[in-house]
Structure 1
Amino acid sequence: MENTGDGPEKGPKMEASGQLYLDLLEKVVTNMIYGDAPTPNAWVPETSFTREHRENGLDWPSTAHTMVGLKRIRNVRHCLEQALADGVAGDFIETGVWRGGVCIFARGILKAHGVSDRRVWLADSFEGIPDTGPDGHPMDQEMALHQSNEVLGVSMETVRDNFARYDLLDDQVQFLPGWFEDTLPTAPVEKLAVMRLDGDLYSSTMDALVNLYPKLSPGGFVIIDDYVIPACRKAVEEFRETEGIEDPLEAIDDYSVFWRRGA
């Protein structure tokens, strides 16, 4: 059942201006307002903007700061605002940030709620998808997503500049540059309230789950952007089985899922 969420069920009310700010921000980071043409590629061949594709994250935008689409952006808002309302301890992290739009939105949520004691972490190679090579997982090798790194590889300087365009680049925004297998085991992240995984590959997904899930507070959220990809789904299923996780998966759209960690 699709469940993007409409915001927290309880907790302090935010000013109407803050709600309007976030309503606008979610449309800006996805560029639903001007509707930039997508960049065609081997996986997503669309060349013309349609609201349906952008709402569902079915294109690779040429200008927008995220490709996740409006439904998944609203899910981020639902999860983070619910965590704030319920007092779930910890920060927000995204593993695989592209142009930074999701994390820009997450920082905007914290700002709109007047939250100054939580951070937004961006973990990314800032070079694109790794070339798994002959020693990589077979399912990762089949996809060869690194062949699209001309589009998928976005420098950290560009992402920082994107944050600055929204006046959201400050000390609450922290970068973890490098391959997940190198950075996540020693990442200086203490607690997480929301972790959003967008690394596509089996290896990237497993690296994030193994190293970050132990830091997720009870009541925190795990968002899996690429669950539709067999390699990613396999990593999630194996991890949940190994860890005995029975918290139900909920669909965001036809491509992504999330679950809330039980007590």
Structure 2
Amino acid sequence: MNKETVEVIDRELLTDRDYVSPGLEIIKPDKCFPNMIVEDTSASDWPYLRREIPHNWYVDQRNNYVGFLSRDEANIVYNTALKFRGKRALEIGCWYGWSACHIALAGVELDVIDPLLAKEDIYESVTNSLQCAGVMDLVNLVIGYSPQKVEELAQQLQRKWSFFFIDGSHDAPSPLNDAIICEQLAQTDALILFHDLNSPDVAQGLDYLKQKGWNTMIYQTMQIMGVAWRGNIEPVQHQPDPKVNWNLPEHLPNYSVSNLSADLVKEFLEIVTAIRPYTLLGEARLFSLYSLAKKVCIEDIPGNFVECGSYKGGAAALLAFVIKRYSLRPRLLYACDTFAGMPDPSEVDIYNGIPANLTGFGVGALKAPIAENIKSICKLLNVEDIVVPVKGLFAETLPQYKSEIGNIALLHADGDWYESTMDIFNTLYDSVVPNGLIQVDDYGYWDGCKKALHDFERLRGEQFNLHRIDYTAVWFKKGNFLPN
């Protein structure tokens, strides 16, 4: 799985009836589903289909009475799965593979259980779609019924799972039984996602996990999704389509609904639109930076902001915008970069077995002269006065500027390489104040970045409590450690 496999799109390319919550990466693997069409909801007689929701209802034209996940739901699944990249996931019920494709594109190792895979045409169609998406090697298709087949598979492979997507039989007692077996086979840090909670029978599964002490929440989507989680994992945040007059059915009382404020979303999307030509960061990572920066400002955590690895300056401008809008004290944003291209990587700077210099992102890549890039976007957002570009190699500039920078409330480490990341942490970590926030961009992409972070942990005798943002980025709070 690599960046090129996933067809990430800008939300401006969505139709009005294909809403996706802000803060989510958006993928659109439609080319791998040539039989997918938009259907009128009257084609289904299922009583729990929310026909009043004005979002596209996708189906396979060969069996047009059963729907796929809506665009919003599919991207909730994808963005959730991104947090579990490289770990094991289980899907119960895949139909024609639309949801399985989104899960596998996130880079998890996916087991799929569905009795309908016994039908040759469905099995072939699912396989073709997954091959088209380039993820067939990550997926194990299993014919059978849950929960019996789940238990059998777990025993056969000595397996537990970290992420579960339950979208099997919607009739009692199946959803409850699915939840029971998934809880038994869940890792300590785990998340279970449900589709079609508009059905009371499906809601029994989420009710069970809530009674068992799991954290729970609802996503207001076309068919209502539910999430249960425990341990060191967080669900994605979601804003229901503000154009829809949402309601909850009577069988879902006392559940919190994920709901970002409309003002926050409007502001974030306006910033992203402005900075998009000046950053390579995806929407999930930008939203994380926006949220962390706002948290620092509102909680008045003392210190300046520092970004190491600024490229064209889009993320730096975003952080500076938040400072200017929300900070209760004067702060500066130090944007550190060579601005002349990437330095030489080392032998440990590898992506997916490929040395950095052979990936197209090696030495000399990402050159971005200050005047026409970071200066330009900072002027556009009117934050020039609080952004300090620092040009040069981290090993040379960070020690020189450390005293001037002083206390650090937020550190964005986007150095890519092992040596660059070690330079950032060796020089600046002690300047990060207690409860200061640190986001590391390439932890899940470059082997060198991950190794540097863990090598630094060992040097300090600490174990950071890392929170996954997407397939590559993580963030943590200084002083919030995992127990040894």
TM over 0.5: yes
Q: Which runs of 5+ in 1 are unaligned?
A: 7-15, 31-63
Answer whether contact 1:29 1:105 (CA < 8 A) is retained.
yes
* 1:130 paired residue number: 343
Shift of 1:116: 5.5
* 1:176 paired residue number: 390
For residues 148 and 111 of structure 1, do their structure 2 counterparts lie closer, same or farther at Cα, with a shift above 3 Å needed?
same
One of 420, 423, 444 as aligned partner of 1:207:
423
Q: The residue matched to 2:423 in structure 1 has which SS?
A: helix
Q: The residue matched to 1:156 in structure 2 has which SS?
A: coil
1:249 aligns with 2:249: no
Q: Which runs of 5+ in 2 are unaligned?
A: 1-232, 239-261
**After superposition, what is the alpha-carbon deviation per residue over 1:212-252, rounded to whole angstroms, capped at 9, x for unaligned?**
11100000111110001111000000101211223310000
**After superposition, what is the alpha-carbon deviation per residue over 1:196-215, rounded to whole angstroms, capped at 9, x for unaligned?**
11111000000001111110
Taking structure 1 as the reference length, the TM-score comes to 0.75
Shift of 1:18: 7.5
* Greater relative CO, 1 or 2 (CA 8 Å, sep 6+): 1
Answer whether contact 1:4 1:74 (CA < 8 A) is retained.
no
Structure 1 segment 1-263 matched on structure 2, within 5 A: 1=233, 20-30=266-276, 64-113=277-326, 115=328, 117-132=330-345, 137-140=346-349, 142-144=355-357, 152-158=366-372, 159-170=374-385, 172-187=386-401, 188-228=404-444, 229-262=446-479
Shift of 1:28: 2.9
For residues 67 and 3 of structure 1, do their structure 2 counterparts lie closer, same or farther at Cα, with a shift above 3 Å needed?
farther
Answer whether contact 1:91 1:118 (CA < 8 A) is retained.
yes
Shift of 1:162: 2.3
For residues 160 and 180 of structure 1, do their structure 2 counterparts lie closer, same or farther at Cα, with a shift above 3 Å needed?
same
CA distance in 2, matches of 1:215, 1:4: 30
Taking structure 2 as the reference length, the TM-score comes to 0.42
Identity, in percent, stands at 25
Answer whether contact 1:217 1:261 (CA < 8 A) is retained.
yes
Shift of 1:17: 6.4
**After superposition, what is the alpha-carbon deviation per residue over 1:14-36, rounded to whole angstroms, capped at 9, x for unaligned?**
xx867743441134323xxxxxx
RMSD: 2.5
Q: The residue matched to 2:462 in structure 1 has which SS?
A: coil
Answer whether contact 2:275 2:377 (CA < 8 A) is retained.
no
CA distance in 2, matches of 1:148, 1:210: 23
* 2:70 paired residue number: none
CA distance in 2, matches of 1:242, 1:143: 25
Answer whether contact 1:18 1:113 (CA < 8 A) is retained.
no
Answer whether contact 1:247 1:259 (CA < 8 A) is retained.
yes
Q: The residue matched to 1:223 in structure 2 has which SS?
A: strand
Answer whether contact 1:227 1:255 (CA < 8 A) is retained.
yes
The structure that is strand-richer by fraction is 2
Answer whether contact 2:343 2:364 (CA < 8 A) is retained.
no
CA distance in 2, matches of 1:18, 1:215: 30
The count of aligned residue pairs is 217
CA distance in 1, matches of 2:235, 2:416: 22
